[in-house]
Amino acid sequence: MDMPFKSIAEITAIAASCFPLARAAATAIEQNVLDLVAPGTKCEAKKLAARLRSGAIFEKDILARLHDLVDTLDAAIAAGTDTETCYDPSPENVSNTRSWGKQRRTPEARRLSTARARILELYATLSAVHDLLRAEAILRDLRAAG
């Protein structure tokens, strides 16, 4: 099996890459989320953005907070997305499909979608670092017990 990383230096680089991703996610939250969500979500998102900016990204609850925000954004994006159905009943249309759908997002849903992408990138990278750290701890315990 080919591992995605080969050395401690690469693992350190993955962890270090979380800091600029956190700043980008914080900026996305501040510019594209805060003025578009409900007051309760706004307060939590503002706290999360502040923690991301401060570099407190490896605290245990950060992943849960990012996950909760993504769930909230998913619902808001879905609410701001409509599917327009287009029909082509003409005899020239020889395909089996006579209709298709085009998704249209409101400007607000597009902004939230942009922020969601930045947050998900941070979430995925942070998850990888947490998994690596958890694996190292388990291996350390197994070696100590053996």
Q: State the DSSP string of 21-39.
A: HHHHHHHHHHHHTTTTS-H
Gap between the Cα atoms of 75 and 92, Å rounded: 39
User: Is residue 86, in this structure, part of any structural domain at all?
Assistant: no
pLDDT of amino acid 92: 81
What are 122-132's pLDDT values in tens digits? 999 999 888 88
pLDDT of amino acid 48: 97
Query: What average pLDDT does the chain have?
Result: 89
User: Is residue 56, in this structure, part of any structural domain at all?
Assistant: yes
User: Is residue 45, in this structure, part of any structural domain at all?
Assistant: yes
| pLDDT for residue 35 is more than 80 | yes
User: Is residue 90, in this structure, part of any structural domain at all?
Assistant: no
User: Is residue 25, in this structure, part of any structural domain at all?
Assistant: yes
Q: What pLDDT band is residue 2 in, cutting at 50, 70 and 90?
A: low
- The DSSP letter of residue 81 is E
Q: What pLDDT band is residue 134 in, cutting at 50, 70 and 90?
A: confident
User: Is residue 4, in this structure, part of any structural domain at all?
Assistant: no
Range of the domain at 20: 12-80+107-145
What are 67-96's pLDDT values in tens digits? 999 999 999 999 999 988 888 888 887 777
User: Is residue 2, in this structure, part of any structural domain at all?
Assistant: no
| pLDDT for residue 1 is more than 50 | no
| pLDDT for residue 8 is more than 80 | no
Alpha-helical segments (H) within the chain: 8-32, 39-54, 60-79, 107-145
pLDDT of amino acid 119: 98
E strand or H helix at 99, and its extent?
A: strand 99-105
Gap between the Cα atoms of 57 and 51, Å rounded: 7
Gap between the Cα atoms of 23 and 91, Å rounded: 54
Helices (H) and strands (E) in the chain, counts: 4, 2
7's torsion region: left (phi>0), alpha (psi -120 to 50) or beta?
beta
Count of domains for the chain: 1
User: Is residue 97, in this structure, part of any structural domain at all?
Assistant: no
Gap between the Cα atoms of 136 and 13, Å rounded: 16
pLDDT of amino acid 4: 61
